[in-house]
Chains A and B, each alone.
Chain A
Amino acid sequence: DQQVKQNSPSLSVQEGRISILNCDYTNSMFDYFLWYKKYPAEGPTFLISISSIKDKNEDGRFTVFLNKSAKHLSLHIVPSQPGDSAVYFCAARVRNEKLTFGTGTRLTIIP
């Protein structure tokens, strides 16, 4: 039972435009959400997180939006840069329990 779903395996975006990566979840008990970025031949690195008490969190070019009623999370990257090409994983947790990861979306930024 995949509780965290990333339905788009891949996404291509023109450099300078906005990249929007989506994540859906089924467990209403999730209270904390994270995004990780992974380059080839490297481990995932933490990018940004959001608590369920918020609906938006920004860090530079990266903004995460949370829509609890729709059980939907999205990561916006503006403007997209070639170095943003990577696989992005969303993750979620129930308080005091382990993280659950999605299957990942490969983002390709086209110069």
Chain B
Amino acid sequence: NAGVTQTPKFQVLKTGQSMTLQCAQDMNHNSMYWYRQDPGMGLRLIYYSASEGTTDKGEVPNGYNVSRLNKREFSLRLESAAPSQTSVYFCASSGQGISYEQYFGPGTRLTVT
């Protein structure tokens, strides 16, 4: 039981490049989330998926897109990376609904130069 897994662990992009961050969970959870963590800013929600087939914007969605591929997988895409997107990205999932305890992946450290 791996919990929440994220790939890659580290990535360096040039401004304007695109990439997809992958997330998978094996806990049969309905809800999944993407956060970014920046110094002094805490965890800010980018997008979430309350259940398979639905996605919604969070607090900071601009510059990102998501896909809930199936119940297990939720990907985050940066179409044209900007230096402001340099951050640590965390994927999370929750089994009881969006209002309850979330389980986090180990994070992806992204640097955009």
Contact = CB atoms under 8 A, between A and B. Distances in A.
Interface of A: 6, 9, 32, 34, 36, 41-46, 49, 89, 93-99, 101-104
Interface of B: 4, 35, 40-45, 48, 58, 90, 92, 97-107
Please report whether the interface of chain A is mostly helix, strand, loop or mixed according to DSSP.
loop
Contact of B99 (A6, A45, A96): A96
Nearest to A46: B101
A60 B100 CA distance: 22
Contacts of A36: 104
Contacts of A95: 99
A97 B45 CA distance: 13
27 contacts: A32-B99, A32-B100, A34-B101, A36-B104, A41-B106, A42-B106, A42-B107, A43-B90, A43-B104, A44-B43, A44-B104, A45-B104, A46-B102, A46-B103, A89-B43, A93-B99, A95-B99, A96-B97, A96-B98, A97-B99, A98-B98, A98-B99, A99-B98, A99-B99, A99-B102, A101-B35, A101-B44
